Structure formats: structure tokens, C-alpha cells
Amino acid sequence: MRISGRHEPGNPEIIAKLNSASLRISAKDYTIWGENTEAKTRMGWVDLPTKSRDLLPQLDALSAWARSKNLTEIVLCGMGGSSLAPEVIAATYGKKLTVLDSTDPAQILNAVPKELARSIIIVGSKSGTTIETKSHFTFFVDLFTKANLLPTDHIVIITDPNTSLDEIARNEGYRIINANPDVGGRFSALSAFGLVPAALIGVDISVLLDDAQEALLTFNQDNSPASVIAALLFSGTEQIVNFCDTKSPTPGLSDWIEQLIAESTGKNQVGRLPVVIESAESSNNLTIGFADGDFDLIVQGTLGEHFILWEWVTALLCYLLKVDPFNQPNVTEAKDRTSKILAQITDNNFEIEKPVFEDNEIAVYSNRDIKNISEFLNLPSNYFAIMAYLTRGIDDEITKLQSEISNKTGIPTTFGWGPRFLHSTGQFHKGGQPNGSFIQITADSIVDVDIPKQTYSFAQLIMAQALGDAKALTERDLPLIRLHLKNRSAGITKLLTELN
């Protein structure tokens, strides 16, 4: 692993503290974040490069079974830590993996394998209760059943021991791999959540673990890369840090780091907010890249090295920020509000908010006295967050909104697909520094899909998730505009045109 770039050497006192903290983390001393923290039961990530080797016989057998049945179409249903690392692994190794981390009905239909009889659906949920993943599970069980295929022949479950999903899977005869319960979701890249999908798509996971172990051995040394980077993230910026995947041999790594840092540090009104950018040319903020280029810091290494490095960096950064890296106190807020809205929808008691402006393409809702996105962008803000509850893979034109807003305002701008970002930057939005402005984009669903055993559909679920998160933000009096696209294509074009 190599670090270079324009960064200044870190404060010697801070790095000395981190050198000492690294020794305590190696010894699994959770008290460096306080006595009463989630860390007490979340230190299993420290030795995953060695402990995860215990999974190799199971994963070899699982891969052999898949090959013997000619099951080559792999779909992963998971959110946050259950999906982001496998997505990076697949992209880095050039393997095909369909990741379903949305409740958008069109995206769900797009994820259905063309040859269902040759597919494996991996269902990953640490808690076993994640609403998105539970819905995906019942959807695919119903799909296989209607196709006269046994769901147990095509679905693999990853979850912690003794969860409700674990009990269901065992009772009904599914193949199941239990994850280490002492590892939190964000820190699970080298656990079963990352390694099961990797093995099934044909990645040599022993190489990932070997590389991670080699890097791990350096973190107890003085001025290790982990200590230097954590010190820079603490003292080199007060909030914003850019990550850029340009020319990176590990494409998508920035999205994984975004979740790791934002959800771990964004609480108690402190934190560091990663902003994934396409180019470092126009940014005045601290910028980190993973290949040679014009970056403040360049971090080069293999994917296994990166996984353990950034977990270690995040743990050290949280030590300096005095926050618990393993809890997410504000994530449940949006979930609770989603449940209430779903109940109102199914009982026909949901009151529809009146727009502040409406035309043929877009209806505008806001808790500020504005009528369009241009007016919203004039509000004072330290960052803008675009939260697009649309169809990834179809509505991708909306991603251009990030650079358009950033270029027009000069203000850092994040982009997240909903509800995916709720398991990532969603924690920072509510728990970090309260200085962001939020652009939520929803749309009429072109298609809808029923959720088996539920009284609501996927279209109703994704809308409830959007409205629930909006409620959590507006209750904090944070500026929010919701742009509801009545016509997706025309609405996206209108938004982009308005900003030009």
C-alpha cells in the first residue's frame, strides 16, 4: 500500500495518539470510544482477515454446488453493508453481479434474471428485519414458486445467527451462511456479506484476505497509513472530503467509503461527509484519489488492502471525533416514519400534501418559501444532498444534476439513490453537522409490483420511504425541496435545463 500526494504531514501529537489507539484497537479494546458503546459487541472486524478463512470450506462447497447446477446468474438483494462491498468486488474483478438495493418497482423487475432456472438469489440482511430485503425475499420466493421452481434450490441466505430470517431459512430448508455477529454491517466487507457473493461470482477470496492481512500487520507500526490518513481527515477538513474514482483500479470504492465514513462519523452533530466526485479539477476541498492524478492524497493498494485500511481509518477518526463508530441512532427515524405512512396508506388515511408549485412535468413541495430548484439553491448551505427515489439503470440522466448544482453554486453536492442512501449518508443528514440542504426527487411509478404477504406494493413502499425521510428532515427544520416528476423523462430534462 502506498500513499502520496500534496498532503501535509499530520500533527505529530495527533498521529502519536493514533499510534497508541491502533495498539488498543488491535487488542479489541472497545473502551477507546467509551464504556457504553456498541463497540463492545462489534470488534470482530479487527481480525476478519484471519477469522474469515473459517468460511472457506463452506464457500468452496457453495461454489461447487452452483457450478454443478449451472447456476450462473447471480442477484444480490441487500442494503448498505450487505451490498456495497460486493458491488465493488464485482466491478474490480470484472465479474457480473446484479445488485438489488432498491424498492423501486421498475428496478426490481429489471433485476429479475432472464433465465430464472439458472439463477441464484443471495438475500443478505444482518438483522434479518431490513424491510427492503425482506420484501425482496418474499418477491423472489413467489416468483420461483409461480415458475414451478423450488425457491430453496435458488436462494442463499446470509444473516446473523438466531435472527428471524435465520430461523425462517433453517425451518424451510434454505442454504444459509451465518455472518459473524460481532461485526457491524459497515465493517462487514471481509465477512460473509462480502465473501459469499464474491465466491459465487468466481473471485478468489483468499487473495482478498491475504492482502488485507498483509496491510493489517502494518497498522501497529508508528505513522502507519491508517494513522496518517485518519489524522488528515480530522485536521485537514472540518466536514467535507472528496473521493474520486477516476482511473481507479477499484471502481466504486468511493461509494463504499462514503457509507463507511458518513454513517460511522455523522452523529452528535459532528462528522466527515464524503462527496463522490468525477474530477478533482474544480474542487477546493480535501480530495482523495486511488490512482495517479491531481489529488491532495493518493491511496494506492489492492482491494483487500483498501477494505481493511478504510475500516481502520474510520475507527481511528471516530476516536478523534469522540463518537461511537458502530451505532446509527438516526437511521431508525426514517424507518419509523415509513411504517406510520404505510399504515396510513393502507388504511386510506394518508393526507396528500399540497404542492407550492405545479405544472405538467413537476410538482414542487418545500418547507421554505420557494417555488423551484433555482430559488432553493440560493438558500445558505454548507452542502446540498440530492436524494433520488428513481430507477437506477433507467433514470441515470438525473445523476448529472450533481455536477450541475455543484458547478452553479460552488457548494459541495452529494448524490444518492433512494432508499439506498438511507443506509449510508442518511445517518449523516440527520446526525452530522446540521448545515445541509436537501433535494428529494420522487416520481410517479410507471409500473408497480405487489409485495407478497403485505397490504402495500413496492411503489407505495418507496414513496413512504421518501416521505418518511422528508419528515425526519423537516422536523429538524432543515431546508428541503421535493421535486415530484409527473413525467420522468420530461421532468429530468426540465430540471437540467433550468440549471443550465
Query: Which whole-number Å values give the CA distances from 359 to 226, 363, 370, 378, 487, in the listed order?
Result: 52, 6, 15, 22, 11
What is the full DSSP assignment across 322-360?
Answer: T--TT--TTHHHHHHHHHHHHHHHHTT-PPPPPPSEE-S
Q: What is the pLDDT at residue 37?
A: 87
Cell matching residue 419: 432508499
Q: Topology of 48-208 in CATH?
A: Rossmann fold (3.40.50)
The ranges assigned to domains in the chain are: 2-33+218-321, 48-208, 331-499
Q: Are 271 and 431 in contact (CB under 8 A)?
A: yes
Which cell is 201 given?
461470482
Three-state secondary structure call for residue 76: strand
Q: Which CATH number fits domain 2-33+218-321: 3.40.50.300, 3.40.50.10490, 1.10.10.60, 3.30.1200.10?
A: 3.40.50.10490
State the pLDDT at residue 36: 81
**What's the whole-model pTM score?**
0.96
Is there a contact between 244 and 283 (Cβ–Cβ < 8 Å)?
no
Each residue's pLDDT, cut to its tens digit, for the chain (500 residues) gives 899 988 877 788 999 999 999 999 999 999 999 988 899 999 999 999 999 999 999 999 999 999 999 999 999 999 998 999 999 999 999 999 999 999 999 999 999 999 999 999 999 999 999 999 999 999 999 999 999 999 999 999 999 999 999 999 999 999 999 999 999 999 999 999 999 999 999 999 999 999 999 999 999 999 999 999 999 999 999 999 999 999 999 999 999 999 999 999 999 999 999 999 988 776 789 999 999 999 999 999 999 999 999 999 999 999 999 999 999 888 878 788 899 999 998 888 888 899 999 999 999 999 999 999 999 999 999 999 999 999 999 999 999 999 999 999 999 999 999 999 999 999 999 999 999 999 999 999 999 999 999 999 999 999 999 999 999 999 999 999 999 999 999 999 999 999 98
| Dihedral (CA of 184, 134, 98, 55) sign | positive
290, 244, 230: which is closest to 412 by C-alpha? 244
Residue 98 to residue 367: CA distance in whole angstroms: 37
pLDDT of 282 reads 64
Taking the C-alpha atoms of residue 12 and residue 25, their distance in angstroms, rounded to an integer, is: 20
Cα diameter, the chain: 65
Exposed/middle/buried for residue 322 (C-beta within 10 Å: 0-12, 13-18, 19+): exposed
Residues 6+ apart with CB under 8 A from 66: 72, 120, 200
Q: Which helix (H) or strand (E) holds 367?
A: none
Four-point Cα dihedral 481, 428, 230, 215, nearest 10 = -110
Q: Do domains 2-33+218-321 and 331-499 have the same CATH topology?
A: yes
Computed from CA positions of residues 50, 54, 60, 62, in that sequence, does the dihedral angle turn out positive or negative? Answer: negative
* The listed CATH number (3.30.1330.30, 3.40.30.10, 3.60.130.10, 3.40.50.10490) that belongs to domain 331-499: 3.40.50.10490
At residue 143, what is the residue type?
Answer: L
